[in-house]
Amino acid sequence: MLVSLGGLRTSMVLGASALALSACVNTGNLDWDLRAGGGDTSAAARQATAAAPTPDANGILSYPDYQLATARRGDTVASMAGRLGLNAEELARTNALRATDPLRDGELLLLPARVSATPQPATLPVSGGGSVDVAAIATTALDEVGPSASPAPAKAVPGQPLTHRVARGETAFTIARTYNVSAKALADWNQLGADMAVREGQTLIIPIATGPAPNPEPEPTPPGTGSPTPEPPSAAKPLPDETTEAAGTKPKATPPSPDLGDQATAASAAKMVMPVSGKIIRGYDRKSNQGIDIAAPAGTPVKAADAGSVTVISADTNGKGIVILRHAGNLLTVYVGVSGVSVKKGDKVSRGQEIGKVAAGDPAFLHFEVRNTSKESFDPMTYLQ
């Protein structure tokens, strides 16, 4: 009898544990960033991103360099390929699947070849009441640069997300951290399932950032120890005696910030010249800033970094001009934030020739990029130093 009671007690405990576990995996309450317990964690979220793009009426997301298709309920790789007029084996191979594999409703597959899409492509909303990432604007303007002297028509897509091919051992969470975006945004953009599962060889699109990441959180303390409390300055020790100077004493000169525009050397002259005289306030980063930002007062002359021809003259939604020059060696230079453009499309420009002025802003700056005709970006400092 005692054995029966013990077995009953064990069954009750296991049943309660199973109920608790099932409650924990409720996807409706899933803590995407594993930050539960701290109340409102919106301020701790990673880099802000735009809303997920919307497919067209055929379920197609179209970008200049690739397309993705949305699976329907009951689809297999082969049935999707037949609906889109594609080879089933090619579609399967492109997505690390077999032609007979079933697809989840809403699952996105990368297409091996372009298919017809409705005139309305996927749109990427801009947050912040109309503020635009200058790197995305420059990329859009680059779409106007054709392989020959005659310009190609401008693309309708206002920006193209990066793609990531999943490697063995990667998860949605590790990929989200790699690109500094939230796991929920990555799931929304790629229509991942509730289990956030990804497979080796799968192609994901990376959400486009619309705001900077917050300041990093402090390192956690080891388990069992209290959180350190900052000590007020007045409680540590008396402040040191100050050595004051008379009001009429001339203050010591503060060394000026380096002005890279005035430090051009003979070596840099052999490559490119600084497009504007000023200080670099944001450096090159292949993922977040595919150029450099040079602070300069509004009205400062903007100069051609090298001899070439004017390929594109455009403007962003704030009216700041975009100028793209083509140079020898299949190189392009991109200038964003230009006002009073003094050249026109097709003009030949010489090295150092003024092409416009720095547009007003807070702060006023010029965004400058160096790319090749395949739109691959390079660190401009390798050409300026």
Asked whether residue 142 is assigned to any structural domain, the reply reads: no
Same domain, yes or no: 200 and 272: no
pLDDT in tens, 266-294: 444 448 999 998 899 999 988 888 899 99
Same domain, yes or no: 198 and 268: no
pLDDT of residue 268: 42
- For residue 363, whether the previous peptide bond is cis, meaning omega lies within 30 degrees of 0, is yes
Asked whether residue 188 is assigned to any structural domain, the reply reads: yes
pLDDT at residue 255 is higher than 80: no
pLDDT of residue 139: 52
Range scoring the smallest mean pLDDT among 28-42, 178-192, 337-351: 28-42
Domain count, the chain: 2
Residue range 62-76: mean pLDDT, rounded: 90
Q: Which of 47, 290, 284, 283 is nearest to 159 (CA)?
A: 290
Same domain, yes or no: 265 and 168: no
SS (H, E, C) 296-357: CCCCCEEECCCCEEEEEEEECCCCCEEEEEEECCCEEEEEEEEECCCCCCCCEECCCCEEEE
Report CA 252 to chain centroid distance, whole Å: 43
CB atoms closer than 10 angstroms to residue 97? 18
Same domain, yes or no: 186 and 279: no
Question: What is the extent of the structural domain holding 344?
Answer: 260-384
Give the max Cα distance, the chain: 100
By three-state DSSP, how is residue 266 classified? helix
Residues of the chain with pLDDT > 70, as a percent, come to: 64
pLDDT of residue 20: 47
Q: What is the DSSP string of 66-100?
A: -EEEEPPTT-BHHHHHHHHT--HHHHHHHTT--TT
Same domain, yes or no: 53 and 172: yes
pTM for this predicted structure = 0.38
Asked whether residue 106 is assigned to any structural domain, the reply reads: yes
211, 245, 276 — which closes off a domain?
211
Distances 175 to 67, 153, 163, 166, 184 between C-alpha atoms, Å: 21, 34, 11, 8, 12
Residues of the chain with pLDDT > 90, as a percent, come to: 34
Confidence at 24, pLDDT banded by 50, 70, 90 = very low
pLDDT at residue 122 is higher than 80: no
| CATH classification at residue 286 | 2.70.70.10
pLDDT of residue 53: 84
Backbone φ and ψ of 325, nearest 5°: -115, 145
pLDDT at residue 310 is higher than 90: yes
Same domain, yes or no: 76 and 187: yes
- Across all residues in the chain, what is the average pLDDT? 75
Residue range 328-338: mean pLDDT, rounded: 91
Asked whether residue 139 is assigned to any structural domain, the reply reads: no
By three-state DSSP, how is residue 203 classified? strand
Q: What is the DSSP string of 208-254?
A: PB-SPPPPPPPPPPPTTSPPP-PPPHHHHSPPPPP----TTSPPPPP
Report CA 238 to chain centroid distance, whole Å: 48
211, 237, 270 — which closes off a domain?
211
CB 275 within 8 A of CB 368: yes
pLDDT at residue 98 is higher than 90: yes
Same domain, yes or no: 202 and 286: no
Range scoring the smallest mean pLDDT among 15-19, 76-80, 240-244: 15-19
Same domain, yes or no: 206 and 265: no
Residue type, 52: A
pLDDT in tens, 127-185: 444 444 544 555 555 555 554 333 333 333 456 889 999 999 999 999 988 888 888 98
190, 211, 232 — which closes off a domain?
211
pLDDT in tens, 346-361: 999 999 999 999 998 8
